[in-house]
Structure 1
Amino acid sequence: MYKAGETVRYWGVKTGGLTWLSAEALTGKIIGQQREERIYKIVGQSGTIHDVSEKLIDEGSEVKAG
Structure 2
Amino acid sequence: MRIEAKTVYKAGETVRYWGVKTGGLTWLSAEALTGKIIGRQREKQSYKIEGQSGTIHDVPEKLIEGGSEVKAG
The TM-score normalised by the length of structure 2 is 0.82
Equivalent residue in structure 2 for 1:29, among 12, 36, 39: 36
Q: Deviations over 1:23-64 (max 9, x none)?
A: 000000000011111110000000000000000002xx1114
Number of aligned residue pairs: give it: 63
Alignment gaps of 5+ in structure 2 = 1-7
* Aligned 1:50-65 pairs, distance under 5 A: 50-58=57-65, 61-62=66-67, 63-64=70-71
Question: What SS is found at the alignment partner of 1:36?
Answer: helix
Question: What SS is found at the alignment partner of 2:62?
Answer: helix
Question: Following superposition, which runs of at least 4 residues in structure 1 exceed 2 angstroms of deviation?
Answer: none
